[in-house]
Each structure stands twice: as structure tokens, then as C-alpha cells.
Amino acid sequence: MRMRPTLTWTPTGPPQAPAATSVEAVASVVGEGRVLVLSGAGLSTESGIPDYRGEGGTLRRHTPMTYQDFVGSDEARRRYWARSHLGWRAMTGAHPNSGHHAVTTLARHGYLTGVVTQNVDGLHRAAGTAELVETVELHGSLDRVVCLGCRETTARAELDRRLREANPDFAATATRINPDGDADLPDALVRAFRPVPCAACGGGTLKPDVVFFGENVPRPRVDQCYRLVDGSDAVLVLGSSLTVLSGLRFVRRAAETGTPVLIINQGATRGDTHAAHRVDLPLGHALTELTRLLGL
């Protein structure tokens, strides 16, 4: 039986003060510079990619593939690649929104030490942020594929070409896409789908170069993020509920070392108790206003 990833958490401790609806206090901290951005799925919703845990989050209707299911079952892998083959087409049509571009603007003007993103959509790279500051894709990226046998990494576009050749009659339209690139697909189309093996070694199992639920983020990547936290004077959380430890641990690290935590998110987060300032606003609007207040 597939386990549903954590949807929410139970708040503990005293009630939190209401979140602000102005970014002025956040702007005063960001204006001092040396800020690390930690971004989540809420930053990409305005690009047409839904989040996991928001009011309309996909976890309420969709159980993502887990690492254990993927490596343990041929049928699970067939299901994943059939649905992801469809979802990938929709993901490639997503473009950075005003929130991504605002982060790039902050980086260009020297306010950021780096970006750690929990998203696998590659939109920070598409917005040019990675050309300006150290950018860590904590959970990997859907535009790369890795062989679990020989460990060869290849471009997702190349796999898409091979899958099209192996499935010339595959015809479906994505009606709903999920943050992991998975899309709803009728069972009959899943059963008829033909995955392909690794082209480099001829038989290895291909997996998207992303961290599935139930899989650990590589330790060197975690250490890289801790280094960025320790080298920053503030951490700015954008569009993440911080429900799971994957991102929450960096907020906790900042709080433990006395580094101010700033949160802009629609809805409460698990890191609110650590926040010096928290704002409840749509990310595109909030970050556009933030750059305006900084005169950018």
C-alpha cells in the first residue's frame, strides 16, 4: 500500500501573531544584503505549476511516486514514465513568473548570497538566477535523467525523443499536472506505454534526477545548503509550507545561530515560530513590491 506523503502538521506552542500583509519589514532586512533565498512550490504556482500543500494542493487528490515504489516495481515505473511523459510536455511550457524574475533582480543587485530551491521545475535557472549566485536545486531537476545502473546522467529532452519513438501511437492531453511533473492518465494508456532502458549501458533503469518522497537528499548537497545558511545574514523563505524536514532544517539552523528568518507564503508554515517577520501575500505581488521598495 502506497503511503501518502505528509499533508500538514499540528502546530504546537503559543498561537502565532497574524501575518503581515506588507513587505516593508522584510524589505528593511533584505536591504542589508547577504540574504539566502529558500524557495518552494508556492513560488511557481503563478507559472501554472500547482503546489503540494496549499488550499488547492495536489496532495489532496494525488499520491506522488515514492522511491520505494519506483525501484521495487516494473508496473510502478511504467505508471510513472507514462504519466510523466505526458506531464513533461506541460512542464516544458512553464515560464518564470514575476516572482522568479524578482529573485533574479535581487541577485543581480547583490542582495543575495544564494538560492536553495525545493522545486524541480528549473524556473530559477530559466530566470537567470543561477548565472548570478550559487543556486542549489535541493530535490534535483526534472530536465535530467539518471541511470540507476551505470549512473550516467542525460538530458530529459533526449529521453523524451526516445519515448516518442517507442510510443508512436501515444496520444493524450494533460488536464491536470502535478509539481513532480506527473499528470493524470487513464489506466488503459498506462498499460500500453513502453518505457525504455538506459541508452548508455543498454539495460539500466532510468529515473528522473529528482529526490522522490521516501528518498534522501544527497548529503553533500545538504552540507552545501548548510554552508550557505551559515554564510548568510538572513534567510528569506518564499512559497514553502516547510512541512517536511527537507527545507525546515535550514530554517531551524538559521534560528539556532541567530540568523533572522523571513517568510513570505500564502498560509501558515511549520517555520513560523522561527520567523522574525512573516507575510501572507501572493509571491508575485509581494516580491515585485519588495524590489520596488528597494528601488530596483
Q: Please state the domain extents for the chain.
A: 21-49+96-139+216-296, 56-93+142-210
β-pairing verdict for 140-147 and 153-155:
antiparallel
- Calpha distance 128→105 (Å, rounded): 9
Residue entry with cell 522568479? 100
85 catalytic residue (yes or no) = no
Spelled out in words, what is the top-level CATH class assigned to the domain 21-49+96-139+216-296?
A: alpha beta
Q: How big is the CA angle at 141 (ends 263 and 61), to the nearest 5 degrees? A: 70
Percent of the chain topping pLDDT 70: 86
User: What is the signed CA dihedral for 113, 296, 51, 226, rounded to 10 degrees?
Assistant: 10
Q: What is the mean pLDDT of the chain?
A: 89
Query: What pLDDT does 2 receive?
Result: 39
Query: How does pLDDT run across 66-117, given as a tens digit for each residue?
Result: 999 999 999 999 999 998 888 887 788 899 999 999 999 999 999 999 999 9
Q: Which three cell numbers stand for residue 218?
A: 544527497
Query: What pLDDT does 256 receive?
Result: 97
For the question of whether the overall pTM of this predicted structure is more than 0.75, the answer is yes
Q: Which three cell numbers stand for residue 250?
A: 535550514
Residues 85, 100, 124, 139: which is the catalytic one?
139
Beta-strand runs (E) in 49-197:
112-117, 134-137, 140-147, 153-155
Query: What pLDDT does 180 receive?
Result: 66
Query: How does pLDDT run across 26-76, given as a tens digit for each residue?
Result: 999 999 999 999 999 999 999 988 865 455 444 444 567 899 999 999 999
